[in-house]
Amino acid sequence: MKRRDLLKGFVTVPVLGAFAYAWYKKRSYERYLKKNILEEIQLKATAPDIPASGPMDKQIRLGLIGYGLRGKHLAQAAGFAHPELIDSWIKNGFENGSDNRYKEYLEQEDLNLVLNGVCDIFDTYGRMAREAGANIYREGSGGKMGPSPKRYKNYQDLINAKDIDAVIIATPDHWHGPMAIAAANAGKHVYVEKPMTWSVEETYKIRKAVKENNIVFQLGHQGRQTESYFKAKEAIDKGLLGKITLIEVTTNRNDPNGAWVYPIHEDANPNTIDWKQFIGQAPDHPFSLERFFRWRCWWDYSTGLSGDLLTHEFDAINQILGLGIPHAAISSGGIYYFKDGRTVPDVLHTVYEYPDRDLSMVYSATLASNRKRGRVIMGHDASMELGRDLIIKADPRSSRYEAKIKEGIIDPALPLFSYSPGMQNVDAITSPTEQYFAGRGLLYTYRGGKRFDPTHLHIKEWLNCIRNGGTTSCNIKQGFEEAMAAHMGTIAYKENRKVFWDAENEKII
Amino acid sequence: MMKYSNTQLSWLVILRIAIGWHFLYEGMVKLMNPNWSSVGFLLDSNGLLKSFFYSLASDSSLVYIIDMINIWGLILIGLGLILGFLARPACIFGIILLSMYYLSHPPFPGLRYAVPSEGSYLIINKTLIELLALVMLFVFPNSRFIGVDRFIFKK
């Protein structure tokens, strides 16, 4: 072979050398940045430690009170999806290949439960709850079913039934307290939807009943299971944000459903609804389909934005920072958009003061604008934005990071740390495209962790404590704090004054 | 066989190396990132073949295969183009991959994407131009003059 041939055949090989060199330079610069940032923040690049569950050998006999919007979801999360819901998942799965809800439901862990009793005061929902309870093989309409649970027309009878160990309560707010208290006094374990109570008085009573009867109590803030909150707590405990003085949490909804204007069921009428039982401790009112299905719009049955949506935000922050009941609260707002006869505001702002922690928490809500405002914890050195993902950005005026910002190692415009649940590794630096996907929820976790329904995990945790002991993550102490904080916000709004918490006497003044 | 002037041949080889470099780097980046998956890109598809790309994304074992084809396809095509080793098959496979990228995200009027685009495109985008450049390399083969193919396809 001629020398000329060899030369022409291999003349481009040095390009690979140049490529390798450029590759090496780029990678080592990235490694240098990453190493320096990780050294600074000392936050492990792994998923947070979440305690594992114990054995599930013992079958738990469940009762479900309330099979409305939330009750249906809770039943599904416990393993009792209605056959028609499964029909719709299968249909959607056929039409849209990426709709995996049925597959995911089949993969949802069996919690070793039997649903022995259901209670709903609307006949159609009562029948549907029975059908869901019988669907132990997770099939669609016409599939193989198990025995149907008994339907109780009165919650007292369900609570006192001998074949029920634990109850899930998913009723309107004004029934949470009385039912949870009755269930605790009957020795039944309780999972109750948030907010814990409708009135201040009930809050003391429910705590007393839970403690005296020594039952396992879980308040339905399924956000407690959000993986990124665990990581957020880790980051804050490590002091990455510096001194925190302001927390901003928001609700941004803009559709009738988000404003609690739910559809009215065609079967509903005074003959199919036990209106008297619905009223309960609320002021008497003539039969009203609007009030039955859209009860969140009236103080008579609801706790408004404070109880329905502020509590989620409050509980998330309480989980991460352990703030407890605020020292003071002020609120303002009004009914500015949904002038449909409702009594609860559709725009609300509540400010909580924590002088002993040197910080304020601001809650701001509107039901008539979808502009995303997020949930932000602001410290002197960095701020944290918390959603499904967690993003920490250094503050340009931070003292702690000043040197590294000057050296160009930390760029305040880019995340100092970000965490997307389910990703295998946590990178101090992630590409903008990855962030973009993650933020839009497009980044499915096919490789790393599996996707889970947090409500399912929250119920599972409650059952685990019933079987194996231990404390639930949203137990009566956190519930008491949640309820009192929400009531303070509501009272401040209704009475248009600054409200204080007298910690010594445990009273709102 | 075609005859080129030295200038023509040099620029054809430079174009081949540049595209090869780009393919190789795209492949290496994906190989080195354990979190990379084609799923996000597939689920961002739009246009006529949207449902086809969605169906690819719905099956995790299929996604694994697609990921591997992308990673190793990009790397091997890149090496082939740079070295001039089986450069014409490399061109064909490169055209197939690029046409998938183009068809899943066609820049047609009325279609929007979550993936941010760094420029402004109407029907023609850089993916399509790179694809057409590979077509040119296929039509004007040069690895038999400059490249390992010189030894494989001896006259």
Instruction: Report pLDDT digits (tens) over B77-131.
Output: 999 999 999 999 999 999 999 999 999 999 999 888 877 778 899 999 999 999 9
Q: What percent of chain A has pLDDT over 70?
A: 93
The pLDDT of residue A28 is above 70: yes
Contact A146, A86 (CB under 8 A): no
Q: Does B43 reach chain A within 8 Å, measured CB to CB?
A: yes
Domain presence at residue B39: yes
Domain presence at residue B154: no
The pLDDT of residue A446 is above 50: no
Angle at CA of residue A88, ends A85 and A89, nearest 5°: 90
Domain range list for chain A: 60-224+458-475, 227-449+486-508
Pick the CATH number of A227-449+486-508 from 3.30.360.10, 3.40.50.10140, 3.30.230.10, 3.40.630.30: 3.30.360.10
Domain that holds residue B81: 6-148
Q: Do B82 and A16 touch (CB under 8 A)?
A: yes
Q: What percent of chain A has pLDDT over 90?
A: 76
The average confidence (pLDDT) of chain A is 91
Q: Does B150 reach chain A within 8 Å, measured CB to CB?
A: yes
Element (H, E) at B49: none
The pLDDT of residue B5 is above 90: yes
Instruction: Report pLDDT digits (tens) over A158-177.
Output: 999 999 999 999 999 999 99
Q: For the residues A212-231, what does the mean pLDDT come to?
A: 91
For A446, nearest residue in chain B (alpha carbons): B60
Q: For the residues A188-217, what does the mean pLDDT come to?
A: 98
How does strand A150-152 pair with strand A113-119?
Answer: parallel
Domain presence at residue B136: yes
The pLDDT of residue A384 is above 80: yes
The pLDDT of residue A100 is above 80: no
Q: Give the DSSP letter of residue A11.
A: T
Contact A402, A373 (CB under 8 A): no
Contact B28, B75 (CB under 8 A): yes
Characterize B129-152 residue by residue with b for buried, 16 or more Cβ atoms within 10 angstroms of its Cβ, and e for exposed. ebbebbeebbeebbbbbbbbbbee
The pLDDT of residue A107 is above 50: yes
pLDDT value, residue A450: 65
Class of domain A60-224+458-475: alpha beta
The pLDDT of residue A443 is above 50: no
Edge-to-edge strand order for the sheet containing A166-169? A150-152, A113-119, A60-65, A166-169, A189-192, A217-219
Residue A370 or residue A502, greater confidence: A502
Domain presence at residue B153: no
The pLDDT of residue A331 is above 50: yes
Residues in chain A closer than 8 A to B115 (CB atoms) = 433, 436
CA distance B96 to chain A (A): 24
Q: For the residues A269-274, what does the mean pLDDT come to?
A: 98
pLDDT value, residue A499: 98
Quickly state the pLDDT bin for A454 (edges 50, 70, 90): confident
Q: Does B5 reach chain A within 8 Å, measured CB to CB?
A: no
Closest Cβ–Cβ partner in B24, B54, B82 for A98: B54
Residues in chain A closer than 8 A to B60 (CB atoms) = 446
pLDDT value, residue B56: 86
User: Domains in chain B: how many in total?
Assistant: 1
CA count, 13 A, side-chain hemisphere, A23: 15
pLDDT value, residue B140: 96
Q: For the residues A180-194, what does the mean pLDDT come to?
A: 98
Quickly state the pLDDT bin for A362 (edges 50, 70, 90): very high
pLDDT value, residue B8: 96
Quickly state the pLDDT bin for A449 (edges 50, 70, 90): low
Q: For the residues A442-452, what does the mean pLDDT come to?
A: 44
Q: Which of A18-32, A99-113, A277-291 has the lowest mean pLDDT?
A: A99-113
Measured CA to CA, the distance from residue A344 to residue A356 in angstroms comes to: 32
Residues in chain B closer than 8 A to A98 (CB atoms) = 43, 54-55, 57-58
Q: How far is CA A154 from CA A277, A310, A371, in A?
A: 8, 31, 43
The pLDDT of residue A247 is above 50: yes
Domain presence at residue B1: no
Instruction: Looking at mean pLDDT, say which of A236-245, A414-423, B36-45 comes out highest.
Output: A236-245
Instruction: Report pLDDT digits (tens) over A40-85.
Output: 888 876 777 777 788 999 999 999 999 999 999 999 999 999 999 9
Residue A452 or residue B110, greater confidence: B110
Quickly state the pLDDT bin for B6 (edges 50, 70, 90): very high
Residue B42 or residue A451, greater confidence: B42
pLDDT value, residue B55: 85
Enumerate the H helices of chain B as residue ranges: 6-32, 39-43, 50-58, 60-83, 87-104, 126-139, 149-152
